[in-house]
Amino acid sequence: MPENTPKTKDDLFTFLDGLGIAHQTVDHAPVFTVAESVALRDEIPGGHTKNLFIKDKKDRYFLLTVEENAEVDLKQVHTIIGGSGRVSFGRAEKLMEYLGVIPGAVTAFGAINDTAGNVTFVLDADLMAEEVVNCHPLANDATTSIASGDLVRFMEATGHKPLVLKVTS
């Protein structure tokens, strides 16, 4: 597989299996927003995520993964995550280039595609207090459940040291 070809759900599951990380996936119709995914709550327990792909004034990229209903103050979050100046949303082209996903499928599992370490991953402390965290498995037509501690293990295995910080209001 060429280096620039994004990994697939199956690649992700093989990687998780290789790490001995338990995971469970529920397939569903594609969802592009948190609002569209609310119908899945009864079927999938645990903390559900919202992901913000942002960049600072020095073009450093961050992925904030927070609980789906949490609010993030984009005017202040740079002071918490170590960004330079206020942040703005990253462009879809960079999202695909760095994390191998499209808008609507943004996920912490995108770390598997960030082999060059272009993105700093920030996991909200409130979300990480959940026993189970739910993320898209590189596509928005499924949801994968994983233990919160195993999400950190996964990230570390991809060469990332995620920051676990309180970034929500």
In a domain, 29, yes or no: yes
Please indicate, yes or no, if residue 4 is contained in any of the structural domains. no
Task: Give the CATH number for residue 140.
Answer: 3.90.960.10
This prediction's pTM? 0.92
Q: Quick check: 1 pLDDT over 50?
A: no
Confidence of residue 30 (pLDDT cuts 50, 70, 90): confident
The boundaries of the domain holding residue 127 are 9-164
Residue 143 within any structural domain of the chain:
yes
Give the pLDDT confidence of 98-126 residue by residue, as tens digits: 999 999 899 999 999 999 999 999 999 99
- The overall longest dimension of the chain from CA atoms, in Å, is 42
Provide the percentage of residues in the chain whose pLDDT is more than 90. Answer: 81
In a domain, 3, yes or no: no
Cβ-Cβ contacts under 8 Å for 139 (sequence gap 6 or more):
8, 9, 30, 101, 105
Say whether pLDDT at 39 is over 70.
Answer: no
Distance CA 167, CA 152 (A): 17
CB proximity list for 30: less than 8 A, separation 6 or greater: 104, 139, 140, 141
- Tell me, yes or no, whether 2 lies in a domain: no
> How many domains, the chain?
1
Look at residue 1 and tell me if it is in a domain.
no
Residue 79 lies in a domain: yes
pLDDT digits (tens, 9 = 90+) for 133-164: 999 999 999 999 999 999 999 999 999 999 99
Task: Please report whether residue 61 resides in a domain.
Answer: yes
